[in-house]
Chain A
């Protein structure tokens, strides 16, 4: 039962263009969402989060959009850089559920020079 789904296993984008990574969830009890970036042989690195009371959060080149009615969130990276090439994970949690995060399977982003 995959409660957090990242339906695109991979994405290829040209340097300088926008990267859009998508994530869908099924559990309406989730009230916060996070994006992590992961390089091979390293642990995930926290990127950006959003609470369910918001529909947008921005941090530099990274913006996360949340559409609660569609149970969908997306991460926008503008402009994309070759160093952004990594696997991106979407994770979701519920404040009343002991901070346990449920993770998607990840999307591998390749930014081509």
Chain B
């Protein structure tokens, strides 16, 4: 039973470029969460999605950031026109629909570096 998959593991972008981060949840999990961890800080919630629906995006910056979880395929976190302050580790987590919904299982993260 594969865990949460994230790719790429490392991503380098120049200022102004776009970054696309992908997340495949665990099999049977229909809920996906994205978190960001800045250096020396804890994880900050960004967005919670179910298939084809954004449930809570209260942690997402209002501009340049978007997320989707289509009916088919992985969840995508998209950052347009990246700036140096976007450099961070981005973690995706998934949870099952009913049983123990509060337990979130994390992927290995994508480390984004903006040069």
Contact = CB atoms under 8 A, between A and B. Distances in A.
B105 A46 contact: yes
B56 A100 contact: yes
Interface in A95-111: 95, 98-106
B109 A32 contact: no
Nearest to A95: B102
Nearest to B3: A43
B4 A100 contact: no
Contact of B102 (A32, A36, A45): A32
Given A98-B48, A99-B101, A100-B45, A43 B107 contact: yes
Contact of A99 (B6, B95, B107): B95
Interface residues of B, number: 28
Contacts of A34: 102-104
A41 interface: yes
Among B42, B93, B103, residue most surrounded by chain A Cβ atoms (within 10 Å): B42
A89 B41 CA distance: 11
Nearest to B55: A98
A46 B102 CA distance: 10
B72 to A, nearest CB: 23
Interface string B74-108: 00000000000000000101010000111111111
Contact of A106 (B42, B56, B93, B106): B42
B43 interface: yes
A49 B102 contact: yes
Interface string A29-47: 0001010100001111110
Interface in A11-43: 32, 34, 36, 41-43
B91 to A, nearest CB: 5
Interface string A45-70: 11001000000000000000000000
Interface of B: 4, 6, 31, 33, 35, 41-45, 48, 55-56, 58-59, 91, 93, 95, 100-109
